[in-house]
Structure 1
C-alpha cells in the first residue's frame, strides 16, 4: 500500500474507495468527514424515517460529532487538532444552520483559527447536514 495513505482505527469508515487522509510533504489532506460514528448506522443528531430520509436533525450535535471525528483522524494519522491550517465546511442548509454552526465552530477553533470556507450544497452522500474537508501540518 502507498505509504502516503493514512487511516484511523477510531473514525467511521469512508463511504467509498478513498482513505481518511493522505500525506503529501509535510501536509495531511483529509477526505470529507461527516458526523457518523464508527461501527454504527446511527448519525448523532439525525432522525430518519423508514425510507432512510431525514425527518429531523440537530446541527449542533452533528457539528460536535464531525469535529471529534476530524480530531481522531488527525491524531491517528500523525497530526493534531492544533496543526489544522485549512477547513472547508459543507452545509446543506446555510440559512437555518449557519448561526449554530458558527457558534459551535468558535468553541472548537478559537485558539487555532485555521483558514475556513463555508459552502452550502444541495445534499451529501449520506443523510447528514455537515461535512468537513481539512488540511493540517504534520
Structure 2
C-alpha cells in the first residue's frame, strides 16, 4: 500500500491522504471544490458566520473535477481510469440537473459507475464532494 498527498489539490481537512493505492486500485479520499493550497472556494457566497448563502454548482463541479484529476495524476493514474464515483450534493433537487450536464462534458462516452446522494452538509462550506476509485497501471 502507498499513500499520496499533493500540493496540486486542496489540503485534506483531516488526518488522511488524498489517495491510497492497494494493488492496481486507487482509492481517493473525498474531494471538494476548494482551491489548491487552501484558497477560496469557487462559486460560494458566505455570510459573516461562514454559512452558505448561495452557491454556483457549475463552478464547483468544474473545480472538484480539476481536483480529482490532480490527485489521480499525482498518484500515477488518470481521468480515463476512474471506475466508480460517489457524488455527495447538499441540494440534489436544485443541483442534480446541472451536475449531470457537467458530468457529461467530462465523460462524453464510457463514464465510470456513479452513485449520487444528498447530504445535509459537508465538512467545509461546499455544495459537492466526490469519492472516487480508479485503476493504476502496474
Match of 2:125 in 1: 127
Question: 1:9 aligns to what SS in structure 2?
Answer: coil
User: Which one of 99, 105, 109 corresponds to residue 107 of structure 2?
Assistant: 109
Shift of 1:110: 1.9
Shift of 1:41: 4.0
Question: 1:89 aligns to what SS in structure 2?
Answer: strand
The whole-number CA distance in structure 2 between the counterparts of 1:112 and 1:65 is 22
The whole-number CA distance in structure 2 between the counterparts of 1:94 and 1:9 is 30
| 1:82 and 1:112 in contact (8 A); partners too | no
User: Which one of 44, 54, 57 corresponds to residue 56 of structure 1?
Assistant: 54
- Map 1:14-93 to 2 at 5 A: 14-93=12-91
The whole-number CA distance in structure 2 between the counterparts of 1:40 and 1:126 is 11
Question: 1:39 aligns to what SS in structure 2?
Answer: helix
| 1:44 and 1:65 in contact (8 A); partners too | yes
| 1:33 and 1:70 in contact (8 A); partners too | yes
Match of 1:99 in 2: 97
- The two structures have a TM-score, normalised by structure 1, of 0.95
Unaligned regions of 5+ residues in structure 2, if any?
none
The whole-number CA distance in structure 2 between the counterparts of 1:88 and 1:16 is 19
| 2:8 and 2:37 in contact (8 A); partners too | no
Q: CA RMSD in A?
A: 1.0
